[in-house]
């Protein structure tokens, strides 16, 4: 196999990709909140909406904000939906066709996501790890908490 063969394979794979990918978190935290049911209903809602040629539903690993799960991301839009239930998915799929929704959207500019990205980049050597050290008192950041019944 030569480089031209590999380039041809890569091009074929890129051409086969669908325009829109709906990512459903299938990690433990989201699974405990029924992300499996969400993914199953997403697949059916995409099919029912006649979007199977354009939209791929993909189960993915941890999307990092477990306390807000199940999480569902829509690319290339870059939307992140939080606390999605199997009953919410038709509404979510309708947004792909231009519809509006009142589903809870995550803020990808939230400091939580910025910090996670910084840690990944530092660990990969793409930024200086010292850049992660705070230079001023921390600002208010929403923390995920769980409460247990007594």
Query: Over the stretch 38-54, which tens digit does the pLDDT of each residue have?
Result: 999 999 999 999 999 99
Domain assignment present for 46: yes
Q: Does 71 map to a domain? A: yes
Q: Which residues pair with 22 in a beta bridge?
A: 57, 74
Question: What local confidence, expressed as pLDDT, does residue 100 receive?
Answer: 87
| Average pLDDT, rounded, for the chain | 79
Domain total of the chain: 1
- Answer whether 27's CB lies under 8 Å from 66's CB: yes
Residue 139 lies in a domain: no
42 occurs within a structural domain: yes
Q: Give the pLDDT confidence of 87-117 residue by residue, as tens digits.
A: 999 999 998 888 888 899 887 777 766 655 5
Q: Considering the domain boundaries, does residue 138 fall inside one?
A: no
Residue 141 lies in a domain: no
88: containing domain: 11-129
Residue 145 within any structural domain of the chain: no
Query: pTM of this prediction?
Result: 0.69
Q: Do the domain assignments include residue 142?
A: no
Give the tokens for residue 5: 């063969």
């Amino acid at each position: 196999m030569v480089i031209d063969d590999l380039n041809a394979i890569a091009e074929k794979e890129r051409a086969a990709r669908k325009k829109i990918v709906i990512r459903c978190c299938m990690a433990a935290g989201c699974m405990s909140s029924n992300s499996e049911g969400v993914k199953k209903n997403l697949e059916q809602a995409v099919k029912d909406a006649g979007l199977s040629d354009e939209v791929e539903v993909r189960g993915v690993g941890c999307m990092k904000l477990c306390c807000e799960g199940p999480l569902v991301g829509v690319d290339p839009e870059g939307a992140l939906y939080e606390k999605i239930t199997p009953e919410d998915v038709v509404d979510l799929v309708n947004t792909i066709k231009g519809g509006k929704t009142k589903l809870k959207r995550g803020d990808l500019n939230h400091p939580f996501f910025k910090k996670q990205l910084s840690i990944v980049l530092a660990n990969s050597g793409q930024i200086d790890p010292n850049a992660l050290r705070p230079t001023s008192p921390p600002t208010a950041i929403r923390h995920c908490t769980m409460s247990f019944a007594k």
